[in-house]
A and B are shown apart, each in its own frame.
Chain A
Amino acid sequence: MPAIDPRLIVLNTEDTVAVARCAIAAGEVLQIGTETITLGQAVTMGHKLARAPMQAGDKVLKYGVPIGSATQAIAVGEHVHLHNIKSDYTPTYALTDTGEIA
């Protein structure tokens, strides 16, 4: 089992994402498997970071099952969210703090 930073949790060994157990600031250095990455963007608790590289169209795995598809290439350690994955069922609607639709 490859090492994972204790601030992250891997829910299933098949997963291509890990979940943040707490807020992690931009610039923090994290061990994810064999890679050591520097976090490009702050994430808050419950958000996901890539644990494996993904190409556009790849299924994103969490809990060992697909939770959607990548819409662009995603590198290990990148924040995985609305900007780079999408539902395979219905689109996600979310407001930003400024009232824009994400």
Chain B
Amino acid sequence: MSMQGFIRSDGRKGIRNQVVVAYLVECAHHVAREIAWPNRDQAHVIGFPGCFPNEYAQKMMERLCTHPNVGAVLLVSLGCESFNRMQLEKIVRDSGRPVETLVIQKTGGTLSAIKRGQAFVMQAIADLADTPRVPLDLSDLIVGTVCGGSDGTSGISGNPATGRAFDRLVAAGATCIFEETGELIGCEDIMSSRAATPELSVELRASVEKAARYYAALGFGSFASGNADGGLSTIEEKSMGAYAKSGASPISGLIKPGDIPTKGGLYLMDVVPDGPVQFGFPNISDNAEIVEMMASGAHMTIFVTGRGSVVGSAISPVIKVAANPEMYDRLHEDMDINAGRIISGDADIDAVGNEIVAMVESVAAGQPTKSEQLGHQEFILTYKTFEPIGPACLPA
């Protein structure tokens, strides 16, 4: 299948050409939703609900609004929130994308803001039809992976099959990101041994130790009740299953949300905040992790689920891999790949890994995933604090 991408001014190529409608505080969320609704296939709502400033959220929104899958941006502000809308608008404008900021308190209220916003979206969609397209190669792609609603099958079928797909994608020059250091607790020894350099090895181990400290302070692991129903007993058991998504390639670097890898390879994303515990759980739900990988440039996310998550995402397509054959039978309308066949003995890890790679190629070429077809565009962004990564995290 020949893949074509939408070329952006920074040289990155998008696999979708969305108009983002971004609310800059929860108070502007309804207006943003109403603006996007008539064109919701192409106009996706993202936003930050908080009224108070947060550097991390600012950076996330800047990265997301200049994501290669995004062609135009409408910012929706109430007017009195702390978010730096001027800076965000400037960054989007400097990227060459059409952008407009609507301040509800200045436009005359809800109805007039919706009317003006819908006019912007209509015009942007018409303009984006002319976006130049260029040949796209696997080496142009950044692919993330998460697992959610994990059970005792995830770590045996869907996760190792995704790991096999990651090995093939990395070999083809793609950039692959795995994450959730809180769900790698117990894997620090084997994972750090795969680092490209000894210094990176130290950083990988430190990131998991930080996660273990953070969750110990919270009193709970990154472990939901459904994980136990599905047969998982401890965080380290869940971790080993989750770790299988990383495959067997050497680990090229450690990034934090919003850091964009500049060359292909396998990267771990550290999603646990730095500093003292504040603002609560690091990953309040699966979409928070998908958003962070998008902020690091992920064109799409491979989502392995055992219990049966149905989510998609704004901006970047989500490929859902069912780990559990019984769940696949129940929820097949939401699932793109049936890795449960590995459990039932009808396919092996290699075969499903190949299917996932083929799916990545067809989704990059424009084929909608199940969650895209169903209109799933979940998005969540909350408060966090990060220090910049150290020099050992991205070896030359």
Contact = CB atoms under 8 A, between A and B. Distances in A.
Interface of A: 9, 11, 19-22, 43-48, 62-63, 65-68, 80-82, 85-95, 102
Interface of B: 151-153, 155-156, 185-187, 190, 212, 215-216, 219-221, 223, 225, 227-237, 240-241, 306, 324, 326, 343-345
A81 B240 contact: no
Given A9-B156, A46-B324, A92 B235 contact: yes
Nearest to A23: B326
A19 B156 contact: yes
Contacts, number: 112
Nearest to A81: B233
A95 B224 CA distance: 9
A89 B212 contact: yes
Contacts of B230: 46
A90 B213 CA distance: 10
A92 B229 CA distance: 12
Given A67-B237, A90-B216, A94-B225, 11 more contacts: A9-B156, A43-B231, A46-B231, A67-B186, A81-B228, A89-B216, A89-B236, A90-B185, A90-B221, A93-B223, A94-B228
B343 A21 contact: yes
Contacts of A91: 219-221
User: Shortest 3 CB-CB distances between A and B: which pairs?
Assistant: A46-B152, A46-B231, A94-B228
B231 A81 contact: yes
B236 A66 contact: yes
Contacts of B212: 89-90
Contact of A65 (B153, B186, B221, B344): B186
